[in-house]
Each structure stands twice: as structure tokens, then as C-alpha cells.
Chain A
Amino acid sequence: MIAEVIYRARRGGPDKPEPGMADLLESWHIDMWLLLLLATVAGAGMFVIYSASGHSIPAVVNQAERFLLGLFVMAVVAQAPPEFYRMMAPWLYGLTLLLLLLVEVIGDHAMGAQRWLDLGFIRFQPSELMKLAMPMTLAAFLHHRRLPPRPLTLLGALVILGVPTVLIMIQPDLGTSMLVIAAGGFTLFFAGLQWRWILGALAAVGAAAPILWERLHDYQRKRILTLLDPESDPLGAGYHITQSKIAIGSGGLFGKGWLEGTQAKLDFLPEAHTDFIFAVFAEELGMISVMVLLAIYLCIVGRCLWIAVRAQDSFQRLLAGALGMTFFIYVFINIGMVIGLLPVVGVPLPLFSFGGTSMVSLLAGFGMLMSIHTHRKLLAN
């Protein structure tokens, strides 16, 4: 009510058309379209989690709690103007870097990797924070500089990108370090990085691949080899991919029906409610629903890019664009891995998979996007 009054006052009188729900939410710095799309994905995710976790109500409640916490964080983040985040970026970057170093020293081990930091009241992965800090810092760094970036600028950007990436890579967490590179890379891409640099970088990665291969851990190598021929070891490393493909393929166009998927229910599909939840979704609801889900994800990305295009300064544009594209990359990597196109890396399906700190950090990112979008009008006034 109060917000509506303030809003009307700002609009300059009742002669303007009646404000709708979208305008109301916008006055609270919430973007209705993004909110609806995010809630749709998370809601659908909860139904599939219920099925994939063996009809576990606590799992669904847990996920709902996490989603609501994320929404709260998102709403809080959206309240501050984008300038605040531009100012904060170097500080957040420095703090995250410090935490990453701390992980190296005192971090918890899980699954052969050192990723977790236990702060007593919360356990979280600093690398997750870097997914946000990276595009923020790079966008802030490039904000004042002439774009497209000149070589010196580029060098500075590469240092900002390189240091945390290396720290995450040696944890080792290949998946997250790739995502951090992607976040930074898209920032540079939107900054207008010349194509010759982009192509040159891709060529360099291609050339360095054999060296990188040498440095990979055994389990990482195995995942990649398994991708090439999952049936070579159907009970070992290829098991995930084989069972996942069986689940998806057997779903067909229309699926076996919610709660009727045999692959997850009978425990043939591992990690069914976390990383491989897409397989359960595809098995139970079929390809038609999968297309709808992909469309919703594309809409989210589209909305992000739209916000970026409408943004009013370089920092906002670059951050919004990079966050949108990184979100898409999450989706692509997860689905690509579940359908056997990419190696098995531990990337959950954003907003859909059960658990993870990624839910909160993702929604915090969307909070910044909303901040960018909703504070724009105020500035215009």
C-alpha cells in the first residue's frame, strides 16, 4: 500500500494508466517476469525431487526452504542500487580470494577435493561466491575503461580472472573453475573483446589441452574417457551416463508419468535428485515437457539479456549480460552431461536440482539483475 503510494507519487499523478502487478513489484525492485520464470522452474523441480527422492516430503520442504531463503536474499540484493555493487565488487573479490586461500589451508575434504569452508555457523564453498564476484569485479574494472578493451586493460582483466581460477582448479574443482572462466569470459565478450583475441584464446586452449590432460586427476580423466565410450565400462565409470541415457530415452515423447519412472525409483540412476535430476524429469514427463523446460530457461536468459541491453552503464550491461550467459552455461553443462554430450562434472541443474549453495548464489545474482533493471527507471527520472 505504502509502496503504491510512493510509486504513484513518483509517476507524477493519477492521470497515468492504472499500474499493474508488474509495476507494483517493480516498485519493490522485483522483476515480475524473472520471478515468475524462476518460480516455475523451482516449482517444477520440487515435483521431480519428490519423485526422484523416493517420495520424500522432507526433501521437498528442504528445497522449498532453500528456495525461499534464496528469494529473500534476491529481494534484499535487489534493493541496493547497482552503483553499490560496483563499489563493493573489489572488496567482495578480495574477500573471496582470501577465503579461497583459507580453503587451501583449513578446508574440509569431500570426495577427494578441498572445497568446503566451515565457518562454524555455515559450511559453504568460497568458489561458489567467486561465480558472482568474478563478473562483478571484471565489469567494475572495465566500467571506466575504453571499450573494446585495449591490450593493457585485457592483461589486467586476465590477472583478475586467472588468480582465483587457478586457486579453484587446484582444489581441484574443474567444473566450478570452468564456470568462473565462463563468467569472466562472457564479461570480456560483452565488453567487446576483439574476435581475434577470442579465437586466439580458443586456439590456445586447444593447444594446451594435452598439457591440461596430463595434469588432470585420474577420476577427471576417467570421466572424459567414459564420455567417449560409456558402454566400455557399463558397471563402472560409464554407469552414470548409461543409466541416465536409458532413463531419458525410455521416457520417449510423453514420458512414463510423474512418479512412474523406473530408473530412478529402482535406484538404477545414481544421484537422481541432485545432479541427474534432468534424467528423471525426461523419463517421467517426456520430450514435450523437456522442450517446455528448455524454453523457460531460454526465456530467463532472454530476460537477462534484455535487462542488459536496457541497462544504462557499462558495469550494469556487462554484469547483466555475463550473469545471464553464465546461467545458460550452467543449464547447458548439466543437461549436456546428463544426456552424455559432456563429461560428468558436478554441476547441478540450476534452480531444479536438490540442494547446494548454488541456489542461494544464483538467486543473489538474479537480485543484482533486478536491481539493475528496477533502479534504471529511478535514474531516468
Chain B
Amino acid sequence: MALGSIKNLHREREAFLARALFGTFFCLVLTGILIARLFDLQVLQSEYFQTRANDNRMRVMPVAPVRGLIYDRHGALLAQNKPAFMLEVVPEQVENMDALLGQLSKVVQLTDQDISRFKDRVRKTPRYRPVPLRNNLTMEELARYELDRYAFRGADVSAGLTRNYPLGASGAHIVGYVGGISEKELSEAPENTYEGLSLVGKTGVEKSHEDTLRGKSGAKVIEANAYGRPLRELDYRRGYPGRNLYLSIDSKVQLVAEQALGELDGAVVAIDPRSGEVLALVSKPGFDPHLFIEGIDAKTYKALSGDPKRPLFNRALQGTYPPGSTVKPAMAIAGLEYGVVTPEDGVYCRGEMTLPGSSRKYRCHKRSGHGFQDMVGGVMRSCDIYFYELAIKLGIDRMHDSMTRLGLGHKTEVDLPLENAGLFPSREWKLRRRKEQWYPGETLSIGIGQGYTLTTPLQLAQMTARIAMRGKGFKPHVVYATQDAITREVTRVPTEPLEPIELKDNHNWQRVIDAMVDVAHAPGGTATRIGRDSPYRIAAKTGTAQVAAMRQDEKKARSLESTPLHLRDHALFVAFAPAEDPKIAVAVIAEHAGHGGAVAAPIGRQVMDMYLLGEVRYNPGAPAPAASVAPVAADGHVHSEDLED
């Protein structure tokens, strides 16, 4: 047609048809590729992508259970949950952490400890999880935060519950405290146990009854959009609140025991001998359990744990002390049981004695001697010579058997953590641990509760309770009942009877108890100052445990003032009352406080008064601190009958 070429219209048409067919083929091949890929995505991998789509939209939000409350036996609150506002940060959403912390510190108070603890936790937590920065925001801080909240990307305030202990330091050693869950606690617990929870029991009942108190976490599955905003709830799994605990502790008795100890360090344990219920358990000095809830900072913790008075140490069941003369009633029972003495058999006390073939002198605490003492006198006046002779007659093996049956040297298995077993030595123990044989002189020391013997205040209370019950006994326990938080149904924790101690002659219990009653009520008894005005009859034994051994050349007892505090004797006291129908057994230890009869006995009396009478009738004035104790010691001698043991 034009431009000098001849078009062959027919051939062009044929050629076009071929190309059109090829084009069709091309389209079909490409469509085939699309279909193959779609088949791969929508059929072969469909399940995988469905999972991915659900992972995108569904978030499982744990719903933390409410922790059980802790009450004392009369329903007074010992541990409760308090609403708290917590400032949390999700590290994943934060662009510049330091900048954010800087901004936040302008509206809420952030200490260096808060920040270092926070950074520590950030390292240990998955980045999409909120990390607490500050707990217990004040209303003012909350208001300041809310005003500017959009400036704090990645930070959020959540309302939750925190733990509160109305008794503060007074209950700290029984109730314990909760604290942030550690990596280790998390990995040791079954999976999902702590979903949504940030606190776990660290000591005391909070720890030993953690499983009861915790409850069961619930969960809700929510649908969230790409920006993480929750849109609707897809599923809800109910949790269950933790059970409430009723402790056998009587907080009035507890407070009296605490006040009676005053500034002294030591422990008081009171048990109901008829059931093993622990009525009071005090260890001093105490500490404020609230310090631990938010996660204690390193400095405060160092100060607490490095304190030479060891406030975190639960003396009542971790502390081990030589029992001193408080073992003497049990010694007397052993002597009668094995028939090595009769109640009338006596010993003449000259103030000291020696063993055959040795020049070593074994002294009585009364240097001038007690004169002739039978069993009652030995117990009542706490004559060491009587018990030296008794120890020689019994020998270490029988002493060990007898004392072990009364609970010394092994754990009472109370439902509190960290209990110490103490120690009651034996030949076998010495050979094994010290690689030495047993020397006869050691038997004498053990006979008056010195030497290797170590006991916890709880063991002493338990031993006293078993004597009071004439050999019957119950495992000591702190939790008396549990309660379902929803149905309010109360379940008693059953008492656990121990195998009773049967004596060949069960009258021997009464003989020793009578001697203990004389300690408090007969003239010459070492605890008559608390027995004189008592409206009920007390069976008691005082003790003064030596911390430093007396040198052989020391003729006279050292006065309290001249002894450095950490070498001064511990004052001990055990008792139960009423003697004819025991309802309470107590053990008191006042560290480095001097004489049991003067210092420890009044504390025990006040505790028993409170429990039995509902008020403290005994009033000697406040128990004197260690330094001003022992008014009779002006001349350096301790010789008052009243004070000694």
C-alpha cells in the first residue's frame, strides 16, 4: 500500500492467528503458575497459614488468681491484698529506653534502685512482656502520669493487687513475705503455674503454704488488631482464687511475747500441747516484710543480711542454742525410766566435783554447794552436781535415746520453712563427725544441757509440751484451717498425733511435773518470782546457757558487766500451765541476757497470762535490758537463790 512495501494481507492474517494462539498458550501457562502457587498456599500450607493468622490475632492474657488471705486463730488479718497501681514498660515498644526513663522520672519518683532493678528484669524477661518499673504509685503520681500518658510510648499503668501485712515486723517470721518470682522458682514450678502472677511466697507461711495460697490462674483469649488493641474476648478460662489460711497463732499472745522480749534479741515459742498448734512464734530482731514485696534493692538487703543481729534469721526455728538447765526435767525422766535413780535418791552438792582419775573440776552454778539434793531438789534448784551424777549413771547412749524420743536433735516438722534439726550428740555422731571417741567428761556437760547439744526454741517448746502431756504429742503446726475463698467453706487442718512415749511407770511423769511446779511455786525454786502471784499453777524450768566456757582457774562466776556482750550467757525458760490441765507450753530464749529465772521467766509468764487469762497480770516492770540485769551482782558473785539455776 504505502512506504514501498507490499503487504500480504492473507499471510499476515495467518501469522497473526499463530501468534494469537501462542498468546493464549502464554496466558494459560502463566495462569497455571499462579494456580500452582495458590494451591501451595491455600491447600498444601493452609493449616500452617491458619495457625499464623490465629497467632496474629489471638492473644492469651493470663488472669492472675487472688492470693489467699492469712488470718490468726481469731480472724485478725495477718496478710491481705491491697489494690496497687503499677507502672510497667514493654521493652519491645520502646525506642529509646533511657529517654523514656528520663521522661517518666519527671512524673513519678524513680530511685536508682528502681531503675537498676528494672534494667535487671528487662534482661531476664522476653521483650514483649511488660516489666514492672514502680509499684504502689501514689494517686498524685498516677494523675501526673495520666496527664501525659501519650508521651510515654511503651509504658502503661496496670491495676493489680499487692500484699500487705498489718502486723508488720511482729508477724514477719511466721507469716513471711512474698517477693518477685525468680528465674529459678519459675523453672522449678510446673508450667503455667505462675501465669499472670508476679509474686511468690519467699519465707514463712507464705512460702510453706504457697500452693494453697496461690490459687489457679485463669486466662482469656482476646482478639487484637495489628496495633495490639484488644477488640473482643474470644474465650475465657476460669481461674480459682487461693485458699484463705487461718493460723493457730493468737496475735494478742504474739504481740505480748514480742513486747515482753523488748529490746532483747531472742525467741519465744508457745504451743498448745493438746494439739500442737503454735500459738505464738517470735524472733527478734524482726524486719519489715513490706521491704521485700517490691523487690528489695541491693543496699537495703546488704544492710539487713549483714546486720550482726541477723534480723532475717528466724531464731525460733533456725536458731540453735545450748538448752542449758531446761533439759533437766527430761534428764530426770530418763533417770527414773531407766531405773538408775529413784525420786528419793540424793546427791551431796559441795559446789564442785571431779571424775576419778582426772583433776578437772566440774562445778555447780552455786559455788557454795546445795548440800543434799534429791530429784525434786535437783530440778527445783537446778543443782548441776545432781545431774552430773545422773549423767554418769545414765551414760551418753541412754541419754541420747531418751532425749531424742522427746524431740531433741531432729526436726519437729512444723509447717514452716528452714527449720533446723539442732543436735543431740551420741558416740556414733562424734566418731563420724569429729573422728574421735566419746570422753566420759563430755557426758557430764551434756547432762546439764551444755557441750555439743544444740536446740531450737521450737524444739524446747515441743519437748515441754510432751512432758506436759505425759508423753503424748502432736506435730507442731501453724496453719489451723483453710477456707475456700468463694464458698467460704472452712476445712480444719487435722492434728497429727505423734507416737506417745510410754514410760514403764507413768507416775514418773507426774513426779517430774511436780518438781517443775516447785521450780515456780516452792520456796527455793529458780522461778518463784513468776510463780508467787500466779493465779494458775505453772510447771517450769529455767536455764542459763553458757556461751563461753569458764576457765578452770576461774573461781568465781563473772559478773555480767565485766563480760563482753557476745560472751554473756543466754537466758532460757520453759514452762507449761496450768500444771494440772496444760493448755499452753512456752519456750523463751533471750540471747546474752543473763539468767533464765530473772530475764526469760517473766517473758514466759506474760505470754501464759495473755493466753490463759486474756490479760497480763504479771507486772515486774519492763524486762531490764541485758546490761542492767542482775541487781545482786554488785560484788561479782551471783548467789541469790532466786536468780540462779
Interface check B7, CB cutoff 8 A? yes
| Residues in B whose Cβ lies below 8 Å from that of A332 | 30-31, 34
The answer on a CB contact under 8 Å between B6 and A146 is: yes
Given contacts A146-B6, A146-B7, A294-B34, A190 and B56 within 8 Å (CB-CB) = no
- B42-75 residues at the A interface, CB under 8 angstroms: 42-43, 45-46, 48-50, 52-54, 56-57
B16-39 residues at the A interface, CB under 8 angstroms:
16-17, 19-20, 23-24, 26-28, 30-31, 33-35, 37-39
For residue A32, CB closer than 8 A to chain B, the reply is no
Decide yes or no whether B223 CB sits under 8 A from chain A: yes
Tell me which of B2, B27, B49, B227 contacts A248 (CB under 8 A): B49
Whether A267 pairs with B226 at a CB distance below 8 angstroms is yes
Residues of A within 8 A of B13 (CB): 317
The answer to whether A341 touches B37, judged by C-beta atoms less than 8 angstroms apart, is yes
A175 CB within 8 Å of chain B: no
Q: Would B38 and A189 count as touching, CB distance under 8 A? A: no
On whether the beta carbons of A287 and B50 are closer than 8 Å, the reply is: no
A182-219 contacts to B (CB < 8 Å): 186, 189-190, 192
Would you call A189 and B42 a contact (CB within 8 A)? Answer: no
Is A24 positioned at the interface, with any CB of B under 8 Å from its CB?
no
The answer to whether B49 and A246 have CB atoms under 8 Å apart is: yes
Shortest B377–chain A CB gap in Å is 88
**Are A282 and B23 CB-contacts (below 8 A) given A250-B50, A252-B50, A268-B57?**
no
Contact yes or no, B31 A298, CB < 8 A: yes
Q: Report whether A282 and B224 are in contact in the complex, using a CB–CB cutoff of 8 Å.
A: no
CA distance A145 to B52 in the complex (A): 57
Once the chains bind, are A325 and B56 in contact (CB under 8 Å)? no
Q: Are A305 and B20 in contact (CB under 8 A)?
A: yes
B3 CB–A CB distance under 8 Å: yes
Within 8 A of B (CB), among A279-319: 282, 286-287, 290-291, 294, 298, 301-302, 305, 308-309, 314, 317
A292 smallest CB distance to B (angstroms): 12
How many residues belonging to B are interface residues under a CB distance threshold of 8 Å?
A: 46
Task: Considering the complex, give the chain A residue whose CB is closest to the CB of B58.
Answer: A262
Within the complex, the shortest CB–CB distance from A313 to chain B, in Å, comes to: 8
Q: How far is the CB of A343 from chain B (nearest CB, A)?
A: 15
Contacts of A339 in B (CB 8 A): 34, 37-38, 41
Provide the bound-state CA to CA distance between A282 and B53, in Å.
Answer: 14
Interface membership of B12, Cβ < 8 A: yes
Q: How far is B8's CA from A145's CA once the two chains are assembled, in angstroms?
A: 10
CB of A263 within 8 A of chain B?
Answer: yes
Judge whether B116 is part of the interface by a CB distance below 8 angstroms. Answer: no
Q: What are the residues of chain B within 8 A of A267 when measuring CB–CB?
A: 225-227
Within 8 Å of chain A (Cβ to Cβ): is B5? yes
Q: Does A172 contact B (CB under 8 A)?
A: no
Main secondary structure of the interface of A (DSSP, over half): helix
Scoring A residues 316 to 349 as 1 if CB is less than 8 Å from chain B, else 0, what string do you get?
A: 0100010011001000100110011100000000
Query: Chain B: which residue is nearest A243 at the CB level?
Result: B56
Which chain B residues border A230 with CB–CB below 8 Å?
Answer: none
In the bound complex, residues from chain A placing their C-beta under 8 Å from that of B33 are 341
Is B42 a contact partner of A249 (Cβ separation < 8 A)?
yes
Known: A282-B38, A339-B38. Is A266-B224 also a contact (CB below 8 A)? Answer: yes
B23 adjacent to A305 (CB under 8 Å):
yes
The reply to whether the CB of B189 lies closer than 8 angstroms to some CB of chain A is: no
Inter-subunit contact A192/B15 (CB<8 Å): yes
B231 within 8 A of A: yes
A245 within 8 A of B: yes
Q: Residue B1 at the A interface, CB < 8 A? A: yes
With a cutoff of 8 Å between Cβ atoms, the chain B residues found around residue A186 in the complex are: 23
Contact A190 B45 (CB under 8 A): no
Please pick, from B2, B26, B46, B231, the residue contacting A249 in the complex, using a CB distance under 8 A: B46
Cβ–Cβ < 8 Å partners of A147 in chain B = 7, 12, 15
How far is it, in angstroms, between the C-alpha of A338 and the C-alpha of B16 when the chains are bound? 33
Q: How far is the CA of A281 from the CA of B16 in the complex (A)?
A: 36
Q: Is the CB of B45 within 8 A of A144?
A: no
The answer to whether A336 touches B34 (Cβ under 8 A) is yes
- CA A94 – CA B34 in complex, angstroms? 37
Complexed CA–CA distance, A248 and B34 (Å)? 13
- Residues from chain B with a CB closer than 8 A to the CB of A328 are 27, 30
A21 to B133, CA, bound (A): 75
A248-B41 in contact given A189-B19, A291-B35, A317-B16 (Cβ < 8 Å): yes
Q: Note all chain A residues with C-beta closer than 8 A to B39.
A: 287
Contact partner of A266 (CB less than 8 A), chosen from B1, B41, B226, is B226
Write out, one digit per residue, whether chain A residues 229-269 have a CB within 8 A of any chain B CB (1) or not (0): 00000000000000101111111110000000011001110
Contacts of B226 in A (CB 8 A): 266-268
- A247 lies within 8 A of B34 (CB): no
Q: Are B34 and A245 within 8 A (Cβ)?
A: no
Residues of B within 8 A of A266 (CB): 56-57, 223-226, 231
CB proximity of B206 to chain A, nearest CB, Å: 42
Q: CB distance A252 to B46 under 8 Å?
A: yes
Contact between A252 and B20, CB atoms less than 8 A apart: no
**Any chain B CB within 8 A of the CB of A148?**
yes
A262 touches B57 (CB 8 A): yes
Alpha-carbon gap, A103 to B188, bound state (A): 68
A321–B56 CB distance below 8 A = no
Q: Which of B2, B3, B23, B26 has the most CB of A within 10 A?
A: B23
Contact A309/B57 with A145-B3, A146-B5, A252-B42 known, Cβ cut-off 8 Å = no
Asked if B42 and A190 sit within 8 Å, CB to CB, the answer is no
Given A266-B225, A268-B57, are A321 and B16 neighbors across the interface (CB < 8 Å)? Answer: yes
A291 to chain B: which residues have CB within 8 Å? 35
A334 to B48 CA separation, bound complex (whole angstroms): 24
Q: Once the chains are docked, how many angstroms separate the CA of A282 from the CA of B45?
A: 14
A359 to B42: give the CA distance in the assembly, Å: 29
Do A145 and B56 touch across chains, with their CB atoms under 8 A apart? no
| Contact present for B27 and A298 (CB under 8 Å) | yes
Say yes or no: B231 contacts A325, CB within 8 Å: no
Q: From B19, B37, B43, B225, give the contact of A192 (CB < 8 A).
A: B19
Interface membership of chain B positions 501-537, coded 1 if the CB is closer than 8 angstroms to chain A and 0 otherwise: 0000000000000000000000000000000000000
**Nearest 5 A/B pairs, CB to CB:** A249-B49, A146-B5, A250-B53, A267-B226, A266-B225
- Given contacts A147-B7, A250-B46, could you give 15 more A-B pairs where the C-beta distance is less than 8 Å? A146-B7, A189-B23, A247-B49, A247-B53, A248-B42, A249-B50, A253-B42, A262-B56, A267-B227, A287-B39, A290-B42, A305-B23, A321-B23, A339-B37, A341-B34
Pairs across A and B, CB under 8 Å, 29 listed: A144-B1, A186-B23, A190-B23, A243-B56, A248-B38, A248-B41, A249-B41, A249-B53, A250-B50, A250-B52, A251-B46, A252-B50, A262-B56, A263-B56, A266-B57, A266-B225, A266-B231, A267-B227, A287-B38, A287-B42, A287-B43, A294-B35, A301-B27, A324-B23, A325-B26, A332-B31, A332-B34, A339-B41, A341-B34
